[in-house]
Structure 1
């Protein structure tokens, strides 16, 4: 029960931060929310009792920091390349590119394909980004929308 409460509070806080005063969240905010959720979920799987609580909080904070950094560097071209990787690459087949404007390097690898409870096609994926010489890795899940685009679901 305590874990669910802490998890709920973290999720609500992340969404409140994401909404802020803007109607449309920034790339950095979106990345931070997705990274924070993924980090919180990963942290909740570690340890027991108080140790699990700490791991969940640390996971959320680290995930938000990494996701925010990756999200802030991605422009529309990078998002399109990620969408294409999720649409066309086989599981385990990576695609890499370097953004000519930002010099950031990205590698996206779909890691699992499945249908969610709503019947949507979904894919787990890993994004590795090298931004200003720093390597960052983000794990996420996205589901195909009716218009054919992929929307992060964690």
Structure 2
């Protein structure tokens, strides 16, 4: 009796727990995005910092440093040269990546008056299709928000 009761209760508990789970709760569901519409009030040219921080430069520099270090000496000295080469290469590769890719890029700050009368400001890469007075959509929110023309 005890074993059959546990076999019957297990599916009931699983059904109750699955009813409590909500897919994409609070975000409108998977794959959905908030879209607002309005009219551009102002466009100002500015710069925005890139968020390119992949670490590829450090990895490639470290690997190159290990390769060069392995050509020096033998035994324990070789191991030390490989570690020192890896550290120096990683630091150099990271510096080179930041120097090349972390430069500010041209952007535009777009101020849109949405249908409710609220002003929304979005800073994004330059979109030449946008101009003052254009009807636009604001897709997304926060740092992922983008202003796109209505077609």
Is the TM-score greater than 0.5? no
Q: What TM-score, normalized by structure 1, do the two folds share?
A: 0.30
Q: Which has the higher helix share?
A: 1
**Structure-2-length-normalised TM-score:** 0.31
Higher relative contact order (CA 8 A, sep 6+): 2
Larger Rg: 2
